[in-house]
Amino acid sequence: MALLKNLNKYRILLLIAAIGLGLAFYPPESKAEEKDKVIMNIIYQVLRSHHFSPQELDDNFSEKAYDLFLENLDYSKRFLIEEDVNSLSQYRDKIDDQIRRSDLGFFNEAFGIYFKRYVEVKGFYQEILAQPMDLNVDESLETDDEKKSYASDMDDLKDRWRKYLKYRILLRMDEMMMDQENDSTSTEEALSIAEIEEKARQKELEAHEEWFKALDDLERIDWISAYMNAITALYDPHTQYFPPEKKEDFEINMTGQLQGIGAQLQQKGDYVTISKVIVGSPCWKQGDLEVGDKILKVEQEDGEAVDLVGMSVRKAVKHIRGPKGTVVKLTVRKLDGTKMDIPITRDIVELESTFAKSSVIGEGDNKVGYIRLPKFYVNFYGDQNHDCAEDVAEELEKLKKEGVKSVVLDLRNNGGGSLQGVIDIVGLFIDEGPVVQVKASGVRPRVLSDEKKGTVYDGPLVVMVNKFSASASEIFAAAIQDYKRGIIIGGNSTFGKGTVQNVVDMDRAVSLAYNDLKPLGALKLTIQKYYRINGGTPQLKGVNPDIVMPDNYMYIPYGEKEQDFALPYDEIDAADYEIWTKGVGAYADIVSRSKSRMDTNSKFAMIESYAKWIKEEREETMVSLKLEEFRKYQEDYRNEAKKYRGMRKSRQELVVNSNQADLSEIESSEENIEKRDNWHKSLRKDLYLSEAYLVALDLSDNY
């Protein structure tokens, strides 16, 4: 997702002037209902006035919203029955009118029916799992939810649950039986099929108890968001309502930072337990909180204390996170059984996995710099925190000091982020000039440029992408390709997302009269499409690499073009830009040499064969629930999968070393050393990186 930042680096785009006067409601039935109506009204007003492609609210829109909400509510069709859907069908052409009036009649009735069925279904799994399964009856299960119809009645629904639970048990049994067959060292007597089945049922019972507990934990706002997003999704796949909790998660995802104590939590029975203490975080600096500690109570600065025993991690996090500089006191039970009160001053916690990092690949005269950028993150919290362009520039300087001949920038699995961030990073590699064009509905395109003269790095460049490289990653790859500044290498195309989003903070979009309803959440809104400087857009088509490498998804439809209600592809006029000249004359030969290497590499041939097999397997959605046939299918599947083990590991290991500039920090703790070693281990045998490395060397020889 490309997120625009204004010059002052405000976190949220405010559309208050446009929507703040549109809030008028019928008398609310309750505080919760009033809040829901405020949310719906804001969403309606903003979509109508600011979305890139406003929709006509008519009966056709209503029918699509109806279908999508029922899908959101019960995608697997394990709660609602035909009678329920038929009773709700009266609303099929009325949702458009309800949206205009901020009327939640359809939602309230649908949720009421769903909740009634939910309570009934909750009893199914316990009853079904209390009795042994008949493993010899010849029956099957459809595993593709889209191919299923709603159950005809409650008996049919219960039988659907029985088959589903039987399938889950068979999966567990197959795994347990395989382990038992392969364990030649065990001196214990082998379990019988009946004993294995009983053990599998017990594990499935525990798993479903946890699953229903998580569902019980959902609040009304979570269900309201499912309804609102059935409406927003009809505009495009990236316009989305975030309830307050998800809004915070979105900001964490965008920045790689959060305000809190820096501990990872997990559920263990009735206790929220510390599973990891992040190095450098507030609780790490305080020193008393340890892995395994059970949190009994949380107390805020104002003295408000909350008992966490029996509370879910999801709810506990709300009490533990808080603004920088505030103090939270945790009462914990240590591993030795003693209690301790631990006061911790909250601060900015950085999630290091989000940030750019680099290493040196190769040695001697064949050193290539490698930079991994997981996301185009944005600095929300001030100058002392991370900004993706500043971090990449710093990594480039480190690599230049190492004397690398070329640089590989890895954007695989990078889903995007800050639009300004990607413009700034392109600017590290070009002198100056246009980077991307953006266009809002009904206005002329605007060219966004790198306006800083000079480069941080002007040497050979290779950019790695894959199917999961999206949005800002595609802007970068497209700009580098259009300038011929470097060679793009990856699967047959990137994701294909060519739209720009911004965020409306709903708390700022209402008057003070609604303060008691806050927090309201946020709306992520598609406001523009972006275009390459050559005039095309990555929307639907993605970026096609100069060098195409086989991958798992080459025969499976994937990306923006597979999303419902995606905006269409189109083109505009090209911007004025000057093509890079260094090394460009050798590109065709370098691409040809790479293709020749891959054509003779059995690993790449194996990946292509695997992709074909995966495509075939995806089309087989009916599964036998007879133990003998189920196990045979699983065994055949495993035997076929064995053929492809290690296919993405290069036969020849790369030499990977840390930058000298990073060594002191890495060697400052065992945890840092372990993280570095694990990362380098994954790089050494990365088949795709091995080919990118050779391309980078070929490119450097022609610079």
Percent of the chain with pLDDT over 90: 67
Tokens of 439: 């266009």
What does the domain layout of the chain look like in residue ranges? 55-234, 257-350, 352-497+530-599+652-700
Bridge pairing between strands 461-465 and 487-490: parallel
pLDDT > 50? residue 5: no
**CATH, domain range 257-350:** 2.30.42.10
Model's pTM, two decimal places?
Answer: 0.84
Binned at pLDDT 50, 70 and 90, residue 93 comes out as: very high
Percent of the chain with pLDDT over 70: 92
More confident residue, 219 or 239: 239
- pLDDT for res 590: 98
- AA identity, residue 479: A
Runs of H (alpha helix) within 276-417: 282-286, 313-320, 388-401
Beta bridge partners of 542: none
- pLDDT for res 247: 59
**Residues in Cβ contact with 226 at an 8 Å cutoff, skipping those fewer than 6 apart:** 69, 72, 73
Detail the DSSP E strand segments found in 427-521: 433-439, 446-450, 461-465, 487-490, 499-505
Cα gap 543→550, rounded to integer Å: 15
pLDDT > 90? residue 71: yes
What DSSP character marks residue 137?
S
Cα gap 247→102, rounded to integer Å: 22
- pLDDT for res 394: 97
What class, spelled out in words, does domain 352-497+530-599+652-700 have in CATH? alpha beta
pLDDT > 80? residue 23: no
Binned at pLDDT 50, 70 and 90, residue 189 comes out as: confident
Q: What is the 3-state secondary structure (H, E, C) of 570-595?
A: CCCCCCCCCCCCCCHHHHHHHHHHHH
Nearest residue to 241 (alpha-carbon basis) of 232, 250, 249: 232
Is residue 602 a contact partner of residue 648, using CB atoms and an 8 Å limit? no
Average pLDDT over residues 60-69: 97
Instruction: Give 454: exposed, middle or buried? Use CB within 10 Å, 0-12, 13-18, 19+.
Output: exposed
Phi, psi at 222, each rounded to 5°: -65, -40
